[in-house]
Structure 1
Amino acid sequence: MAEIDHIVLGARTLEEGAAFVERLLGVKPQAGGRHEGAGTHNMLLGLGPDCYLEVIAPDPAQPEPPHPRLFDLDDAATRTMLESEPRLLSWVARTPAMDAVMGRLGPRGGEIREMQRGDLHWRMAIPPQRQDMDNLIPALIEWKGERAGKRLRDSHFRLVGLEAEHPEAEQVHAALQERGLGEALLVKRGAHPRLIAKLRGPKGDDIALTSR
């Protein structure tokens, strides 16, 4: 079984991403760190004990990584989009049984990578490019030890809904089902792929982050 671990906001720089979150929510994400060898670094905003918002951007202090950066950060269209403002890019689902899930998915599940940030360790499986249905099919994460979200201050915002729109909604739903995520994401048919994360603030105000 899998469940939502975190949502991912992409930015050209961490400074731009943090400023965007602070303008939108009135709270600044806290420092994360570098993903050594992956070419990225991040900041994080706690959304309760079981979920968080990750702000991710290319790390100019690292050399070009051997693999494309996560969440299509190297894609020309993504870079152009982020020149306008930071955007919701994707989401990540955690599982306690990565090997079992990947054994069922086979090559469609992608490649498992060992990753770390400081003393945090995890394994992540990223769907092959062009099989992620425009980032609507999440990367899977299996934490080794403590999860990142457990260390974060509570922003008192909560993720109250995650929705997707796609011209091939049935295929998106089928891919989620085989990952044990059929109930995690509300999928609707739409003219263009889009991810929508609905956040609720401490005063009951609702704010939406969207990928387009």
Structure 2
Amino acid sequence: MSPNFSRRNFLALTGGALAAPSFALAANAEGADDDVPTLLDHIILGCNDLDRGIEAVEEATGVRPAIGGVHPGRGTRNALLSLGERHYLEIIAPDPAQEKIVHFPQIRQMTDPRLIGWAVHPPDIAAVAKQLRENQVAFIGPDDGSRKRPDGRVLNWKTINLADDRGGLLPFFIEWSVDSVHPSKDTSAHCELDYFEILSADPEELSSTLKRIGLDLPVQRSDKARLHALISGPKGDVKLST
């Protein structure tokens, strides 16, 4: 395995008036972890080869992600690692059996895994669509999605994707079907998401944009727009970055 996938190096894997909110994702609910948004669903690690992504995460954390399955018609397949209650890491890579990648086409060029996006699970995805329309934010959806697991069971969900997600800085929204088990509950465990943060050279502007899509979250000042996440596992702490 390349030295770039050692645990030490893996720690820096890249390095107007608004309508009244129909929902709002506060920074955190009372009693929740202040460093992780309450309704953060999952963070996404992109790579051009799923096996390489799995091996990199296993070497860094000490836990091997479980194969998730294929996204039919989306051009991708994934592996999953639980990060505690209602949070998980998704490793996403091209599916060799499909030609076109609908979302995250940049993963074809990613020889080293890196953070490329994140998702939140709002209480009501229809309310999200309503608020985005009222605030004149362009979006796609709600769209139906599904994935067939290796055991044959099918997971179903609905998603809303922003027309401009600022290169992954802004999340997409996901609502899981009531008959689907959340991936955090039955995938590889023993890791936790210790913190997740959004950074920008203009945090006030990005914070305002987040509020327009219903998310009241802090944005840290940085010379470069990026996402950071810290995962703790049996081998220690692993920092992921865009």
- When normalised by structure 1's length, the TM-score is 0.84
**Which residue of the other structure, out of 136, 143, 147, is the alignment partner of 2:176?**
143
Deviations 1:35-91 (A, max 9, x none): 1011111000011231100000111101325xxx32xx324xx654x12x1101111
Q: Contact 1:45/1:152 (CA < 8 Å) preserved in 2?
A: no
Deviations 1:122-147 (A, max 9, x none): 1111111xx21221110100111224
1:60 aligns with 2:96: yes
1:115 aligns with 2:142: no
1:126 aligns with 2:156: no
Match of 1:169 in 2: 203
- What percentage of residue pairs aligned between the two structures are identical? 35
- Aligned-pair CA distance for 1:97: 0.9
Distance 2:234 2:195 in 1: 16
- Aligned-pair CA distance for 1:24: 0.9
Match of 2:18 in 1: none
Q: Contact 1:109/1:125 (CA < 8 Å) preserved in 2?
A: no
Structure 1 portions without partners, runs of 5+: none
- Aligned-pair CA distance for 1:121: 0.6
Q: Which has the larger radius of gyration?
A: 2
Q: Contact 1:95/1:142 (CA < 8 Å) preserved in 2?
A: yes
Distance 2:206 2:168 in 1: 10
**Which residue of the other structure, out of 41, 44, 63, is the alignment partner of 2:80?**
44
Q: Contact 2:63/2:234 (CA < 8 Å) preserved in 1?
A: no
* The 10-residue stretch of structure 1 (151-160 or 25-34) with the greater mean CA deviation from structure 2: 151-160
Distance 2:58 2:170 in 1: 28
- Aligned-pair CA distance for 1:20: 0.9
Distance 2:59 2:184 in 1: 25
Q: Contact 1:136/1:172 (CA < 8 Å) preserved in 2?
A: no
Distance 1:136 1:61 in 2: 29
Distance 1:79 1:117 in 2: 20
Give the alignment of 1:1-212 within 5 angstroms.
1-2=24-25, 3-64=39-100, 69-70=102-103, 73-75=104-106, 79-80=108-109, 82-83=110-111, 85-106=112-133, 108-112=137-141, 113-118=143-148, 119-128=154-163, 131-145=164-178, 146-183=180-217, 186-201=218-233, 205-211=236-242
Distance 1:206 1:150 in 2: 19
* The 10-residue stretch of structure 1 (26-35 or 1-10) with the greater mean CA deviation from structure 2: 1-10
Q: Contact 1:43/1:54 (CA < 8 Å) preserved in 2?
A: yes
RMSD of aligned C-alpha atoms? Answer: 2.0
- Aligned-pair CA distance for 1:9: 0.3
Matched residues, number: 197
The change in CA–CA distance for 1:200 and 1:181 in structure 2 (over 3 A counts) is: farther
